[in-house]
Amino acid sequence: MSVTTFSPRKAWTKPEVLKSYEAPGRKRGRPPGVWVAGDLAELHKAIWLCPDCDHRFDWKRHHYYPVYKYEKTTVQANCDACKAPSRLCRLFLYEPTVPRAWLTKDEARQVRQHAIIVGG
């Protein structure tokens, strides 16, 4: 029996690390609904959907936070369902990760006020 050793790659650049977190993308022939509601939602990835595709995604059922609905913010990205680039993509974040990834307007205001009080 032979022993195989794996040595980790040493010099990872910042773009390579960020690329490793990215979802691999929808395979050709795979239905968009299965990709978004099935694969991305099960992996708890951030989901970007254009206005034409967002009504098909049941964000409450999959426990996602619609950033556009509460924060009135859109994102410029490629839609995860139809792959079309859009300036009005809507961002959905998995609910348990929202406190680590997103500040609400009230939380951001509290952070600014605390910084002003501490900073003088």
C-alpha 4/C-alpha 74 separation (Å) is 48
The reported pTM is 0.65
Checking if the pLDDT of 120 tops 60, the result is no
DSSP 52-116: TTGGGS-TTTTTEEEHHHHH---EEEE-TTT--EEEEEEEEEEGGGHHHH---HHHHHHHHHHHH
C-alpha 107/C-alpha 113 separation (Å) is 10
User: Which residues face 86 on adjacent strands?
Assistant: 77
Compute how many other C-beta atoms are within 10 angstroms of the C-beta atom of residue 85.
10
Q: Please state which of the ranges 19-33, 45-59, 82-96 shows the lowest mean pLDDT.
A: 19-33
pLDDT at 46: 84
